[in-house]
Amino acid sequence: MTRLTRLCGFDDVKPQNAMGQIEEGRLTDGKGTIVLVHGAWFGGWVWRDVARLLRAEGFDVTTPTMSGLGERRHQLTSEIDLSTHTDDIVNHIEMEDLRDVTLVGWSYGGMVANGVLTRVKDRIRTLVYFDAFDPKDGESLADLVNAQPVRDMALAGQPVPPPDLAQRWNVTDETLLALCADRVGPHPAKTMTEPVKGFRERPQGVNYAYVWCGANPASSFAKFYERASKDPQFAFVERLPHDHVVALTDPQVSADVIAKAARL
C-alpha cells in the first residue's frame, strides 16, 4: 500500500485546483458506493452539496441520517446510544446491499464508522476519517475529549445541545447559518458515553485515509491526524486549510478529497 499524500503544514497545501480536482474518466462505473456518515447534531443533509458533486462525477453516493437527528429528529429519545447509530449505518448498508463501499465518517461519525467496520468489514473497501474521531476499543467520545458534562447529561437523560457554529467553527456566512438554524439540533448524549466495542485492531484488507481540517491546530482531531501520519496502514493522509464544517463551507474541496480517497 503506497502512501499517496503526506501534507505536514499549510506551506504544502496547494490551491484548490491543484488539490485533486476529480479526474475525468476515473469513475467507479457503478462498482463502488460512497456512504457519507454525518457528525453530531447534524444529519445526512449536511452532505447535500458534496453528494451532488460526487454524483455528477459518476459516483454512487448515499447520505443516511442516524436516529434522533436531521429528518429523524422526531425519533430523539434518551435511550439512543452509539450502538443504535451503528445499527443505523450497518442496516443501511445491508438493506441496500452495498458492497465495495468507501465509508466516510465525519467528526462523531468516526465513532460510528469504527463500529460499522467491525460488523461489515467484507463490504468496506476504504474507510475515510474526515476530520473525525478514531477511537480504540473501549473508548467513548467523552473519554477522548474528557467531557464530564456530557456524562452528566447522559445520566440525566438529557440530549447534548448543539454548539454555536460561528463561535466554535468560524461559520460566518449568513446563508449557511440560516440553513443550519433549522436543521442542527440536540444530540442523544448516550451516543457520546458508550464506548466502541470490538475494534481491537485495524482490520487488514481495508484502505484507510485521514483528512484533517487543520485551520485550528488545537482542534480535537489533530492527534488523530498525527497518529495516522505515522501509521503505515494509512495510504492517504491530508491536511486541509479549512475549519471543521468544510462540507458546508467548501463542498468542492470536500468532494475532491473524498474522491481521491475513494480511488485508493
Mind telling me the catalytic residues? 107
Determine whether 100 is exposed, middle or buried from the number of CB atoms within 10 Å of its CB (0-12, 13-18, 19+): middle
3-state SS of the chain is CCCCEECCCHHHCCCHHHCCCCCCCCCCCCCCEEEEECCCCCCHHHHHHHHHHHHHCCCEEECCCCCCCHHHHHHCCCCCCHHHHHHHHHHHHHHCCCCCEEEEEEECHHHHHHHHHHHHHHHEEEEEEEEECCCCCCCCHHHHHCCHHHHHHHHHCCCECCCCHHHHHCCCCHHHHHHHHCCCCCECCHHHHCCCCCCCCCCCCCEEEEEEECCCCCCCCHHHHHHHHCCCCEEEEEEECCCCCHHHHCHHHHHHHHHHHHCC
